[in-house]
Structure 1
Amino acid sequence: MRWLALGWADLRRNPAPGLWHGLLLTAGGWLLLWAARDQFWLMAGAFSGFLIVAPILATGLYHVSRSCNSGRCVGMPEVIALWRSGDGRLVRFGLLLGLAGTGWVLTSAALITLYSPEPIHKPVDFLRHVVLVREIGLFEVWLLLGALLAAPVFASSVVAIPMLVDTSAPISVAVADSWRAVANHPGPMAFWAVLIGILVGVGMLTALLGLIVTIPLVAHASWHAYCDLTQRTTSQLHSSADKGGG
């Protein structure tokens, strides 16, 4: 909860970059909804990839929070400069996350296709034959499977992505540190994953409008989670900001 409070403080201190990120990602979500409105598996794949890759798309906000810690406010030009730096580590990590999302969609499709009593072609089919059925079973198994597949993705990225922005560490080191942080603090990290899920869920249930605020809030808070979990000191943060990151 402290991370959320610090993230909210960063958003209030320098709202423009965060709100621009939220607006752009929300617009992207609306575009996906329109393009896949009658094709359930296309929509499921698009949104799974969208949500999994979103932390990479919000990397500029880690730089914003780092700068706030250093007493500076940066705007979108500096965020765009970070994107245009062409950091191959972030590109490769984003591709890996995209592959993870594809794996989830294929696994999900196999489960639903095998056990659904009726063919699932449209979103309304999924609601009618999987979500709203009276019997407990398929939908609950589907949710549990999603949580089991999401857990290693969360463990691999929760510290790794901010670290890739903040330092020159290779992907393998960043992922190892991320897993170590989760292993050392399993309770708080499980709670943090649930909080992120709730915030994203609230954002999606408001016709995606809530994502305009929840995406930058989670991104800023994730930076503070990274700082706490890796015990980054104020002097280290100032040094990283002066160098412009990794």
Structure 2
Amino acid sequence: MPNSPALEESRRFAVRAIPLLRPLSWLARGARDLARAPLPGLLHGLASALFGGLLFWAARDRFWLLAGAFSGFLIVAPLVATGLYNVSRALERGRPAGLGAALAAWRPDDRRLIAFGLLLGLAGTGWVLTSAALITGFSPEPIRKPEDFVRVVMLADTGLLFEAWLVLGGVLAAPVFASSVVAIPLLLDRKVSVLAAVLTSWRVVMAHPAPMAFWAALLMGLTALAMAPLLLGLVVVVPWLAHASWHAYRDLVDVSELPSQPTRAWR
């Protein structure tokens, strides 16, 4: 059976070999990009923290919904970071890398990014609804506050609701991570189809399961730590991880043989 056109297109991109601890290098380079162009990154981080605060206020009496919403943030985070990928790309090329470079990535002239964003949004919404249904359907008591979630779900003497919630979240999040870990930077950088970008992302994960699992753990762990101090850590951690994700793409996917898209500029 002949391969699909998208698979053939994906195979135009070679996947580079990386060692297990290479994600630490991505964090270092991401921090350097943030230091070189702090304004767009910190504004992205501030917007993320304010959105989280608004979400917390809106669902303050419905923590069963809030728990899924915050974990769903990790699913759509690659889309939120699109502007900062363009900033790192501009820095790499010696181009202006201010707020204009970040805004340029959001211009609605690339239907591929819009389509991929809609898919991520649907995945995040699906997890929020699934999480809410699981907790409200199987919790022995109403979950209205964070302490209710800790007491009734996390520290419950009987039942495996918390374990089931974690497993279900992992089952749903893993394919989303595998589909998106390099897909959006690739779509921004090269003229490829959405399906080819997703297949390339899967090839990266399948070629390097241990380093990519380490990278996923770093993303989740640092985001969780950033949420702890009243979400204020997101101001720095969101742009830091976004810039680091660009360098992950550049390390993992060899696109040197193909022409790149012009650097987007805000007009």
Instruction: Give the alignment's TM-score, normalised by structure 2.
Output: 0.83
| Alignment check: 8 A CA contact 1:45 1:102 kept | no
Which 4+ residue blocks in structure 1 deviate beyond 4 angstroms?
A: none
Amino acid at match of 1:7: G
The whole-number CA distance in structure 1 between the counterparts of 2:229 and 2:254 is: 36
| Alignment check: 8 A CA contact 2:62 2:143 kept | no
Query: Equivalent residue of 2:199, what SS?
Result: helix
| Alignment check: 8 A CA contact 1:38 1:123 kept | no
Amino acid at match of 1:205: A
The whole-number CA distance in structure 2 between the counterparts of 1:23 and 1:174 is: 29
> Which residue does 1:119 correspond to in 2?
142
| Alignment check: 8 A CA contact 1:160 1:177 kept | yes
| Alignment check: 8 A CA contact 1:39 1:123 kept | no
Q: CA-to-partner distance for each residue in 1:146-204, whole Å, 9 max, x for gaps?
A: 11211000000001011111112111000000000000000000000000001100111
User: Structure 1: which 5+ residue stretches go unaligned?
Assistant: none
Amino acid at match of 2:60: R
Aligned-pair identity in percent equals 60
One of 188, 194, 202 as aligned partner of 2:217: 194
> 1:42 deviation in Å?
3.7
> 1:232 deviation in Å?
4.0
One of 66, 85, 89 as aligned partner of 1:62: 85
Comparing 211-220 and 82-91, the one that deviates more: 82-91
Amino acid at match of 1:64: V
The whole-number CA distance in structure 1 between the counterparts of 2:218 and 2:200 is: 21
Query: Equivalent residue of 1:83, what SS?
Result: coil
Comparing 83-92 and 93-102, the one that deviates more: 83-92
The whole-number CA distance in structure 1 between the counterparts of 2:81 and 2:56 is: 20
> 1:45 deviation in Å?
4.8
The whole-number CA distance in structure 2 between the counterparts of 1:118 and 1:22 is: 35
Query: Equivalent residue of 1:74, what SS?
Result: coil
The whole-number CA distance in structure 2 between the counterparts of 1:8 and 1:110 is: 38
> 1:244 deviation in Å?
1.7
**Structure 1 vs Structure 2 CA RMSD:** 2.1
The whole-number CA distance in structure 2 between the counterparts of 1:55 and 1:11 is: 17
> Which residue does 1:98 correspond to in 2?
121
Higher helix share: 1
| Alignment check: 8 A CA contact 2:78 2:242 kept | yes
Pair 1:137 & 2:160 matched = yes
Amino acid at match of 1:244: T
Pair 1:87 & 2:110 matched = yes
The whole-number CA distance in structure 2 between the counterparts of 1:110 and 1:69 is: 45
Pair 1:5 & 2:24 matched = no
